[in-house]
Structure 1
């Protein structure tokens, strides 16, 4: 593995392993090394898959909140009677008085009040950042899967070579 050969986020690229002839000891060392790299790639893949799943959950929430803030911005000078979602199947009626501010739930038991325009800007930037992060995560997954395939091919080739060496020894 050449540590200087990486993708944009520092994931090392797997190189196709070229060999002419290996001793049985050298081949077993290479197999162990390849299996370690495969395990590392799989760990990174699992981590990124979890991150993608989290982003897939967050994106619709951010978009829905941004739509609501945009609607409130358009109706800023009027009192509104609204039906809002408390839970997946539970809705309630409410009267929203005209206001120039909205409260955004930021998570970790934190809610902040923002002016509507600032809230819209914040949500728009969060949405763009989440989409960009999702895009890079998907690129990293593709890259990792290619590296895993390369390492599995390397492993198979060296393993087949060890089988041939063992046959020769018998």
Structure 2
């Protein structure tokens, strides 16, 4: 067997067995070959499971990042009002008026607050850690995190597609080796009886 290639993230490419008789030289080699292929499929499925978990995590994380970024954008726009905006527009409260909001603390816990000046925001960084950031720094940080998460999701989806192709290739290999073995056994049986 030749050296296996891999994708850019190091996931090995499954070998395709085009000529079984060159890959499996005797019927004694069939069972170990089938076991080796089955092990490779299990490894690919393990990697696929890990990537599916990562994808679910990113699918949850990206909307949260977008929602947080939208709020930071709103606070940033509110703290530096647009001079071209119509001062009599009723939908936009002035920067001096306190803003009455309801915000999510947890999945099932909401709280009310009045925001008067919004020069800083507090962001959860994980592991029960909240850090205060100026609004502009928070905007930059959230944009970077969102971009990183979106790129990671794109790479994860590519890797999942690559893994599915490798699993399919290995399943085809198993079928080809098994069918070759059945054919060889039939020919051996017919040769003995004939």
The two structures have a TM-score, normalised by structure 1, of 0.91
Structure 2 residue aligned with 1:18 = 18
| In the alignment, structure 1 residue 84 sits paired with structure 2 residue 87 | no
Equivalent in 146, 156, 162 of residue 181 of structure 2: 162
Equivalent in 137, 146, 155 of residue 136 of structure 1: 155
> How far does residue 162 in structure 1 lie from its aligned partner after superposition?
1.5
Q: Which runs of 4+ in 1 moved over 6 A?
A: none
Larger radius of gyration: 2
| In the alignment, structure 1 residue 49 sits paired with structure 2 residue 52 | yes
Which has the larger displacement, 81-90 or 160-169? 81-90
Question: Can you list the C-alpha shifts for 1:13-67, whole angstroms capped at 9, x where unaligned?
Answer: 1121133533111122211111111111000000000000000010111100001
Structure 2 residue aligned with 1:152 = 171
Equivalent in 21, 29, 34 of residue 31 of structure 1: 34
In angstroms, what is the RMSD of aligned CA positions?
Answer: 1.8
- What SS is found at the alignment partner of 1:105? strand
Aligned pair count reads: 170
Unpaired runs of 5+ in structure 2? 80-94, 190-194
**Does the 8 Å CA contact 2:20/2:180 hold for their aligned counterparts?**
no
CA distance in 2, matches of 1:19, 1:26: 15
Which has the larger displacement, 92-101 or 55-64? 92-101
